[in-house]
A and B are shown apart, each in its own frame.
Chain A
């Protein structure tokens, strides 16, 4: 074995208890870091997956971010415009089939037309404000997971009854409607329609399950009192993380407001960033505290081994060699701590994953955990680096010891 490694290993091995405590400190830091990272990442991934799978990646609506300029303002340098009458009817997306074809020609994914209407669902003395979305069930599997999220029926059940409707399971619980129930839909445009509940869906996103219902496109058009209206294009991309860029391009090309799922949930994504910042700060603090243990043990060893250091230097071992011995000792502690921490972290994750928790925001009764080697590598690397950093100062001090002073002191 290499001389430096041999001496370092001998020192560490000779102090089993002290070394054990230092290793345990690092292992605890690494283990809890992995557990925290796994929990944070797991819950974030779980939530993101729900958002990505449940909502359209990009929603193109018939609105514009800023009103288009009035022709008079364009034609004349100075024009004062007042008394404009707002349009009562939604314009809808112009020539939606051509727009869809144009989008599908370049974007990597699928596009589906829909009609979105605000309505009040009335059933058994309950009045609930709801988003009614008129869809084409045959295209829906290409643009959302709704067909997979159906409960009690398939999405094709929308074809089996006149004015059929599929509602969220939480909405159904709220109003007490079961399959076959006849409910009344009332819109602000004055449309009133009796619809039959033909199925439920469950997305796992509370807001959607409580306040969304799906009907056929033509039913949606009847509710909005506009035949042929398509006021939303819903886009599903093969790479959901590119949604922001795709939305920007669609908006530039069409002029219609295009909202990516990231923009629609900007506040949540910001929260995730802050949450991750807090997590990494806490993890860093844990590992920093653990490195104090390494500093302590290396300082103790160099203090106890002052005479050996002096004799090694008198024999001709260089400062570099002596310093390397103690840095390697710190590395051994860091490495052993990281390995033990990997095991501890994995066991903590298993333990955490086995705890039953009722969470109103989650479907699962188990905490979502992410098992990824990145967390292990990151925690291990930080532990190793902090251990070496902690060991370097006492190692440097040891290497600079004047052998004569120690030899004289020893006598």
Chain B
């Protein structure tokens, strides 16, 4: 299937108000002399405008689940659907295109490209998609950075920013192509409490003010408690999936 066809299919499916991301009986086993089960028999649906926390102890499979939902990894069995479209059998190019248009990633470490300026990092996904003119990309990148309080840092290199600022740049980059879903892997894990709170507020605003869906892996239970829904994993299996802050 071509990238354009995949996108069209996803859009049509989206119109039918299906879950944005759905995992059906997903199991991921790492091959090796002693195969390691990362997650098993996961059934999960992420819907539009949800603010979801994935919690659990270390090694419980939180990040593995996030990578499977984000099409960065392939399940050993089961399937992952994006707006109703099965993705496991997609060509690599189509999965890459789906990541580019549907998903934004924020990792524990900012993972910004060190040789590029803040603005260049933010416009990178736009350039990869190639739908905007250079000036439109710069304008949109500037607006995103401005909305996250980084308007004065656009031409700086990542190493000239604080940890919290870098993580906000990573959020801006994740939003570059206006994806409906942001997947965050311990987004505040490497930050102090003040910076953590700033990043959390940015993520919450994305859901509450911009209608995005955010799925965040976190160890911080107090932060998870302030989100809409909490999914708890132990030993690769979901042991709890509860709505904790229902919004009207």
Contacts and interface: CB of A to CB of B under 8 A. Distances in A.
A411 interface: yes
Contacts of B97: 316, 318
List the 10 closest A-B pairs by CB distance, nearest first. Answer: A316-B100, A316-B99, A311-B111, A318-B96, A3-B127, A10-B115, A404-B73, A404-B67, A314-B105, A318-B93
A7 B101 CA distance: 21
A315 B108 contact: no
A307 B107 CA distance: 12
B119 to A, nearest CB: 13
Given A316-B97, A317-B128, A411-B107, 13 more contacts: A3-B128, A3-B130, A10-B116, A14-B115, A312-B124, A315-B125, A318-B96, A402-B73, A403-B72, A404-B72, A407-B72, A408-B63, A411-B109
A315 B129 CA distance: 10
Interface string A383-411: 00000000000000000001110011011
Interface residues of A, number: 28
B149 to A, nearest CB: 22
Interface of B: 63, 67, 70, 72-73, 92-93, 96-101, 103, 105, 107-109, 111, 113, 115-116, 124-125, 127-130, 173, 177, 185
B237 to A, nearest CB: 20
Contacts of A11: 115
A307 B72 CA distance: 14
A318 B125 contact: no
Majority secondary structure of chain A interface residues (helix, strand, loop or mixed): helix
Interface in A318-350: 318-321
A407 B125 contact: no
A363 interface: no
A321 B128 contact: yes
Contacts of B98: 316
B99 A314 contact: yes
A315 B109 contact: no
Contacts of B116: 10
Contacts of A7: 113
Nearest to A14: B115
Contact of B128 (A308, A316, A404): A316
Contacts of A407: 67, 72, 107, 111, 185
Nearest to A13: B115
Contacts of A14: 115
A186 to B, nearest CB: 88
30 contacts: A3-B124, A3-B127, A3-B128, A6-B127, A10-B116, A308-B111, A308-B113, A311-B107, A311-B111, A314-B99, A314-B105, A315-B125, A316-B96, A316-B97, A316-B98, A316-B99, A316-B100, A316-B103, A316-B128, A318-B92, A318-B96, A318-B97, A319-B96, A320-B93, A403-B72, A404-B73, A407-B107, A408-B63, A410-B109, A411-B108
Contacts of A315: 99-100, 105, 124-125, 128, 173
A314 B97 CA distance: 10
A375 interface: no
Contacts of B115: 10-11, 13-14
Nearest to A400: B92
A316 B125 contact: yes
Nearest to A10: B115
A313 B130 CA distance: 16
Contacts of B125: 315-316
Contacts of A313: 72, 96
